[in-house]
Every structure is written in structure tokens, then in C-alpha cells.
Structure 1
Amino acid sequence: MDAMGFGMGNCCLQVTFQACSIAEARYLYDQLATICPLVMALSAAAPFYRGYVSDIDCRWEVISASVDDRTKEERGEKPLKNNKYRINKSRYDSIDSYLSTCGEKYNDIDLTIDKEICSQLTKEGIDPLLAQHIAHLFIRDPLTLFEEKIHLDDANESDHFENIQSTNWQTMRFKPPPPNSDIGWRVEFRPMEVQLTDFENSAYVVFVVLLTRVILSYKLDFLIPLSKVDENMKAAQKRDSVRQGMFYFKKDICKAGIAAVDGCYTTLNGTEGELEEYTLMSIDTIINGKEGVFPGLLPILNSYLENMEVDVDTRCTILNYLKLIKKRASGELMTSARWLREFVSNHPDYKHDSVITDKINYDLMVKCNQIANGQTSCPELVGFTTSKTKPSGSKMTV
């Protein structure tokens, strides 16, 4: 799968959020980056590739490798001669730096940048954190170029920037406003995998939307060293990581004495030692909570909803969505990846040799189509016995 023609974009459920300011966008970008591995594991739906059962549940590393255009020099396998940079990751990978001032101290991984571009940006008044983020994007070459898009008025068109921006596929994307537009600062949440039904897709989108509201309303702080987020990304892709995996997460996400500083939040009464700030937790503990260990994201969301004026019908719908997330996190309901594995494993033609035959593949596609169109029930996947959902697009803007 060394090209993009196998439909990599069809695996993704991505959500773009509008922020009220650049500071809020940067704060959300950082906080959500720590959530990316967890929600990717929760939405895991890609265990098969090229007719074989794999030992991973998510698409991320597969796509990362398929669009990795680094040379041997850029990978560090040969001395630099024809290339300018050593580049640590594929252009499809987790983020490489936090953008808010409160995230700066957690930027503990090497960041390769175009120093000339970074200098140009800082001279024009862009702060160092944002300047290095942009300068990091521009260490890559454009992948495509259209003849009519070569000579542009860069003061009024952003196509040259978007050419680079849109081919750096990271877990989060920071999206500046287009010129001559009333569109504001946005952040895109990109790690989720698309599900079989509208109900499931809606549940994941609503969960992340509500999480952004809670982050901003309660001034939550999920930040941990970026190297630990990278470790979480690796753990999230492993088979059945929802039930088996352990993930680094901040222990105290709502510390006392928190004050707003330039759109981010910092502790006034000193900080704990790094090793005390975060610890390994299961997804069940992070999402649902565990007494004496962690309050859980869902209980915090429910507390937020109780203080909001939400009509009964909407509240019931939201609670059904959150119930799916709760049961996926606890293992009571299967992830899509686990359900797919069990279908193949229990198929009479499967010989336990990792080979998905044409017959198995056809029967699986028929079953998936029936579930997606509400023609058959799948309570082990969605938690109820009937479904009237129909498939729709997989990308939403909130």
C-alpha cells in the first residue's frame, strides 16, 4: 500500500471546530492533542489490510507509512548530502509541538524547522511557538501542483500555504482563517475512525464536541509531555487496546488556583514533579472514572450537561450517545475492529491463517451494509437491537 489509491480517506471521521480567537484555537489544539490516541483506540475500526488479518486495530501507522516520502538521508539512514533535514516522522503522524504558552514546557521532542522561514515569521511579529509550527510544516515538499495555481497573489490567496498545510496530515490541524473570508480560527480533530452507522459516528462527534465545551468552560488541563502522547499513539493502535492498553494521562486535570493567561491556563501555586503529574491509566478509567484514581471524562461531561438548559429530547439523545462511549470504554460493547475480527474468526471458511478469502470478504461486506442501512441488528456493537440509521458523510464542521 505504497500509494494513496487504496482509499485512505474513507477510513476517517474528522471534526473541525470554530474557535472564538487564535488563543482559544491554540489552547484547544493542545488539549485535544492529548485526547487523540484515546479516541482513536475507542473508535478502532481497521484491523484488515490487503486481504489479511493484521495485529493492529487502527489505520494510522499504515497510512503514515504509505505516504512517508522521506529519503534515506531524511530518515537518518545516510549522512545528509542531497537533503537539508533529518526528519523524525512521516508527514502523516502525530503533532510535533504544542502551540499555546502553557504547552511550551511539554514540548520535549526534537522539532525540525526551516530556520529561514522561522526567522522571517518572527521578524514579522509571529511569536516563536507559532513560527516554529509553520516552519516545521515547510520542511516538506509539495506533493501536487496545478499549473493554474503556480502564480498567485499571496496577499489575497492562501493556496500556496494550503498546498503544504493540507499534505501535513497530523492528529490535529491548526487552520488559520482564509484571506477575504469571514471564517475564523479553527482546529481539526483527525484521529477517529469512521463507524458503520450514523448513530456511532454521531456519538463520537458529540463526545468530542462536548469535550471541547467542557475544556473551555472548566478550564481543564490535559497537557503531558508530547513524547508521552507519542507513546500513547503507538499503544492506541495495538489490537484490543481499549481493553488491554494503558495510557499516560494527567492525574489532576482541574487543579485549584488556575488563572487565564493569554488564552491558556497555568497553575499559580506551583507545579508537581513531572512524574507526579501523569500516570498510566486504562481507557475505562480515563473515560468512566475510578474512585480515588481519576474522576472520568464522562462524569465531567454529565456534570456540565446538568448545568445547561437542554430540552428533554436532546438530553436523551445525547445520553444515548454517551452511553455508547461509556460501554465501548468499559469493553461491554465491542469496538468496530473487535467486531470485525470476531466475524472473520467465526466464519466457517476461516482457516485461522490470517487470510480473508473472497467468500469471507463478501459475507462481511453484506453484513456491514445491512448494519449500516438498519436492515439487521447488531447489539454487541451499538447496544440496542434495532437500527434505522443510514450512512452519511464522514466529515463534519461544528
Structure 2
Amino acid sequence: MGLLTEGSPLSWEETKRLAEHVRQHGVLQFINLYKRLKDRQWDVLKWGDEVEYIIVKFNQEKRTAKVSLRAQELLAKLNEKEHADPEKAKSLWRPEYGAYMVEGTPGKPYGGLLAHFNIVESNMKYRRDEVSQLLKNGEVIMSLTNFPRLGCPDFTDPPTQPTPNEGVTRSLFFPDEAIYNGHPRFKTLSRNIRMRRGEKVSINLPIFKDVHTKIPVDESYLHSKAAEPDKVYMDAMGFGMGCCCLQLTFQACNLTEARTLYDQLAPLCPIMLALSAASPIYRGFLTDVDCRWNVISASVDCRTEEERGLVPLKNNKFVINKSRYDSIDSYLSEVGEKFNDVPLIYDEQIYNKLRENDIDHLLSQHIAHLFIRDTVSLFSEKVHQNDEVDTDHFENIQSTNWQTMRFKPPPPNSTIGWRVEFRPCEVQITDFENAAIVCFVVLLTRVILSYQLNFLIPISKVDENMQRAQKRNACREEKFWFRKNITTCVSPPEANQYCMQGKTNSDCDVYEPMTINEIINGKEGEFPGLVPLINNYLTGMDVDADTHCTIQQYLKLIQQRASGNVLTTASWIRKFVLSHPDYKNDSKVTDTINYDLLNQLKQIQSGEVPCQELLGYSTVSKTKETIPSVFSCPE
């Protein structure tokens, strides 16, 4: 969720008055940090995953499933091991937006050992078991992107009620009690985003139109002018930030490598979003989308009417094209500069200040672009800081720009280096699936650096891909702009042949629409495919038998899902609902359907019920604790 500062939150009026103070001092803090650490070298590969979970309460007698609002109570116990001995903790636990959510990470980051892939899944399983031991009868921890009936009447345990005329969200559907109450950041953000915007946030998702779907879908349009009759309307931050995701952070060896990874992974964000699609149901309705991304984007969209271009600028400085939660707007490496084809909105004064301090054009405009945003959460204890050593004002803005990729400077006085965060993936039902996605992306970063691959396409095409990725069944049916030739002269001969068959250099720079299957598995004679490139890379590595087996199982799942032989979680959920005996072909997911759906997913995640449609056709996971083999560092 970002920076969790301890202290007393200021009112929105106080925060608004101090917005420029935070902005100016945040920039100074970045400049000082950059000057100290820009030449930092030789950090080794370290990486880690973040998995977010929902606590679900099942009632077998009533056949209901609700979110359990016990996150604060559970986190107090989950954090005891870390507090007692941080060095020995196998997992770390943090709060998330929902009072029914927890976030778990490995106790220590993984490193450059290939055999670390043998313990990713076992650590995920350990985290799940760790929470499970603390649960009450009927409660289950689930790695579920979105609770299908979030915002429906009586969806929480204990019961709560929305308060449309008071409180921090003033939602028609989402009660304030469903927001995590153990830290003031979450409710403060909810209040301040609404107040800065000047109205409640507005989310309208297209309904999945079935034979008996009624339009208007409900009576929301009678209570809010923002509600569209043929859409599923939601009006609170919780509908977005109450979703779960799977994220990865990588440490690079230096600043240049971090910028390279940031750029090269950005075009892969929509591909991985479509491949991991897992959330077709919102507020008890089947929608015509498969992913959470636009829901979260709208849920924290604090832009005023002026900034959204609805009325002329008067009190604000910029018309801003996107929410503060969206895809990236510019590449950071010199190679990427020519693909920055969308005009970037940034604060020229801040840009000039950064340039005066010898920060290059691309990084200066990136920071100046982030800093067009106001702070939406400020604590009284953190207003006045020492800009030579503190970074909280910088992180205040940085951590509330929630984009597909995040470029992360080293923390002050830390052994941690320059990092990038990969943020698009939806969380999967099982530890096996989550481990497969994590290991695939990690291996891809090694191949990118070793073979000096080039995935860059115009930013405008990445934006188009992000919208395509969220469409129903996008993984099977959509095509995505992708670079036709991704290889260079240092790439392996088998891959480089695709740019050497009588084509000119300019031909090699062409991008074209490709299916997910073509991108992942390749297109004979035209495109090598990402998994074949990974396997080519692995042939030059000293991989022990157990590690090789584990990696191949993970890669096989990715290949099967890309080819359409295995369903995405979203497609599986949609199929389950459409074939449920109680479904009335009306796009509604009732309490009973929701219970049966989550009960089936619970059994799949525990291994009680095999599910080849979701998990593939050869998936006997191996989770060893041995670590014998090493990644080679790119020259």
C-alpha cells in the first residue's frame, strides 16, 4: 500500500495548505538522495514477492460467504515473530486497505540462486498456513483478487452498514468499518481523495449482458448522478484498493540497470495483466471485464473537474490525463526516449530545479511528472523534516503514484539498492499459480539483461494494450501491440535469426499486433516467444534436476494459459457462474452462487479438488529447501 507513517493525520484543509510544502521538500529530498547514491554500484540481484489475501467467513448452514473484518486482530499476532527476532522471521506481514485483508512477503528477499525457485511456493504455502492457524471456525484465507459481493448488502462479518451521508467514504455500498482501522492512513486517504476531487469517486463497469439482464441494472442511478444505468456503479475507494494483487520488486546492480528494467518490463505489464486476469465480478454482478485495473484507477482518482478537463483551469495548474493509479507515462532509459510519444505533463519549475542539480532530462521529467500530484495524506509529526537525511516527503508523493511500474531509489542509510517494482498482476487462487507467475517474471528479467532484449514500443501502444488486457477473455481473444524483433546482436543465435533473414535494421524495429499465445510461446519463423527464450537461457546454466523440474512446471502453466489450454482465473470464475444451477441468466451473482463459487475455490487452493482447467495438465509442485545453483551475472 505504500508508506505507513506513524503519527496524527492532519485534516484535509491542513493537508491542502501544506501540499506545496510537501512537494518542494520532497523534490529536495530526492535531489539529495540522488547525489549521494547515483554512483552506487555492484548490488546483487535480490527480489521478493508480495501476496495480498482476503479473510473469508463461510457459514455452511446458511450457505453464505462474507469477508471477515479481523485483519487488525490477526496482524497483531502475525507480527509477533518479526518483533521478537526479525532475522528469523520466515514471513513479514503488513496491513492493507481492507479490514479483511493482509499482505504477506518472504522474511528475507531471494537472491541470484536458481534454486531459490524451489522455495518460492513453499514460502507462499508457509504464509497461508501461518494465517490459517489463527483463524476461527469457518474462516479461510484466500488469495482472491476481488470478493465477488463486495459492497452488496450484508457482505461483512460482523455485519456493517454503509453511511451515505456521513463518514470518510459516504458510499451507498461500502461501509467505513470495512476499511482497516489499525492505521490512520487508509481512512485518511479515503476522506482526502474524496474531498480533493470535490465529490465521491465514480466507477462504472460495463455489465455482462446476458439473456435476462435488466437495464438499468439496479437503482444506483436514482441515488447518484454519476451512476450510469447500464453499468455496475461503485462509489468508494474500497472497491479498488479493497482488491488484492501480486507484486514483485527487483534490486538492480546500479541506477542504469534499474532504468533498463523499468523500461523493458513496462510493455510486459498489460501482457501479464491479461495472463493473470482474475476478477470478472463486482458488487454481485458479472461484468464485461476480467481485471481490476480500471476499477482501482477510478477508485483513487482525486482529480478535480478542472484537472479532468471538464471545466477551464482556475484553481489548479494542470489538465491531467490519468488517475494517480494507472500505467506509466514515460520511459527512463536513453533507448526508451524515442518511444515517449505521449506528451508528458510535468511541473516545469520542479523539472528545472532537478536539471540545475545535474539530474538528466528523462529522470527529471519523470520526477516532475509524479510531483504534479498533491499529497493526499500528511501527519503532523512529519511536516518538518531534515531534507539532507529524511525522505518521507518524497515517499509521500512517490508512494501515492500507483503505476504499473515503480522506480524506487535506495532508502537512506540502507544496504538496499536501486529497485523496480512490477505491479500489474492479479493474484491467483493457488500458491502454485502465484509462484509460476513470480518465477516467470524473475527469469524474464535475467533474460532481458543477459540477452539485452528490447521490448520497447511507443507508450501510446502500451496504454492501448492496458485497455485491451482488461476485456473479457482478452488472454485468448485480444491482440496486443508487441515489438516484432526483440533481439540484438548479443542475443542467442536461435533467437537472433528472426532479425537476420534478409530484413533491414529498420524492419527489425516494427511492432505489430500479437496474441498472448504468440508472445509467450512464439510464432514459427517470425517471433521466438518469451518461454523459449527463457529455456534457451537456462541451457547455458548449471541447473540441478529438482530446480529444472520446478521451473519447467511453472513455465508449462504459463504456456498452457497463454495458448488457451488452461483458463485464466477470470474465465474459470465466469464459466462457473454461467453454469451454476441457480444462475438466472441475469448477470447476478447471488449469495448462494457466491458461496458455492468460493467454496469450490477454497477446495482447489487446498488441493482437495483437482482442477486441470485452472492448474494445467502436469503440475506436481516441488518445494525444496536446498539452494545449490547460481544465476550468472550479465557482463
Q: TM-score, normalised by structure 2?
A: 0.58
CA deviations over 1:76-121 (Å, ceiling 9, x no partner): 1111111100101111100000000000000000211011111111
Partner of 1:170: 403
Tell me which of 611, 618, 635 is aligned to 1:378: 611
The residue type paired with residue 506 of structure 2 is E
Q: Which residue of 1 aligns with 2:544?
A: 311
Match of 2:342? 109
**Change in 2 beyond 3 A, CA 1:386/1:132:** closer
Deviates more, 1:24-33 or 1:10-19: 10-19
Deviation (angstroms), 1:5 = 2.4
**Partners of 1:376 and 1:386 within 8 A in 2:** no
Percent identical among aligned pairs is 64
CA distance in 2, matches of 1:333, 1:77: 44
In the alignment, does 2:506 pair up with 1:272?
A: yes
Whether contact under 8 Å (1:51, 1:355) holds in the other structure is: yes
Secondary structure, in 3 states, of the residue corresponding to 2:534? helix
Q: Kindly state the Cα deviation for residue 388 of structure 1 after the two structures are TM-superposed.
A: 8.1
Contact kept in structure 2, 1:25 and 1:185, CA below 8 Å: yes
**Is 2:349 aligned against 1:155?**
no
Of structures 1 and 2, the one with the larger relative CO (CA 8 A, separation 6+) is: 1
SS of the aligned residue for 1:17 comes to strand
Q: Among residues 566, 587, 596, which one is paired with 1:333 in the alignment?
A: 566
In the other structure, the counterpart of 2:434 is: 201
8 Å CA contact 2:452, 2:488 repeated in 1 = no
Contact 1:199 1:389 in 2 (8 A): no
CA RMSD, 1 decimal: 2.0
CA distance in 2, matches of 1:386, 1:327: 11
Are the structure 2 counterparts of residues 280 and 346 from structure 1 closer, same or farther at C-alpha, using a change threshold of 3 Å? same
Following superposition, the deviation at residue 339 of structure 1 comes to: 0.3
How many residue pairs end up in the alignment? 380
The residue aligned with 1:35 is 268
2:335 partner SS:
helix
Do 2:266 and 2:404's aligned partners in 1 also have CA atoms closer than 8 Å? Answer: yes
Among residues 368, 372, 385, which one is paired with 1:135 in the alignment?
A: 368
Aligned counterpart, 1:57: 290
**What runs of 5+ residues in structure 2 fail to find an aligned partner?**
1-233, 492-502, 624-635
| Deviation, structure 1 residue 2 | 3.1
Describe the shift of the 1:166–1:2 C-alpha distance in structure 2 as closer, same or farther (beyond 3 A). Answer: farther
Q: Which has the higher helix share?
A: 1
- Residue 357 of structure 1 and its aligned partner are, at CA, apart by 0.5
What CA distance in whole angstroms lies between the structure 1 residues aligned with 2:600 and 2:240?
A: 20
Which among 323, 327, 331 is matched to residue 94 of structure 1? Answer: 327
Deviation (angstroms), 1:386:
8.1
Moved over 6 A (4+): 385-390
Given residue 140 of structure 1, which amino acid in structure 2 is its aligned partner? R
Query: CA offset at residue 328 of structure 1?
Result: 0.3
Is the counterpart of residue 350 in structure 1 residue 586 in structure 2?
A: no
Q: Give the aligned partner of residue 106 of structure 2.
A: none
234-243 vs 152-161, greater mean Cα deviation? 152-161
> Quick one: which amino acid aligns to residue 530 of structure 2?
L
Q: Report what 2:425 is aligned to.
A: 192
Q: Could you list the per-position Cα deviations for residues 283-313 of structure 1 after superposition, in whole angstroms to 9, with x for gaps in the alignment? A: 1011001112211111000000111111100
Q: What is the alpha-carbon distance in structure 2 between the residues aligned to residue 174 and residue 245 of structure 1?
A: 29
The counterpart of 1:363, out of the listed 586, 592, 596, is: 596
Q: Report if aligned partners of 1:371, 1:387 keep a CA contact under 8 Å in 2.
A: no
Query: Is residue 460 of structure 2 the alignment partner of residue 245 of structure 1?
Result: no
User: In the alignment, is the contact (CA less than 8 A) between 1:377 and 1:384 conserved in 2?
Assistant: no
Match of 2:354, SS state, is helix
SS state at 1:100 partner:
coil
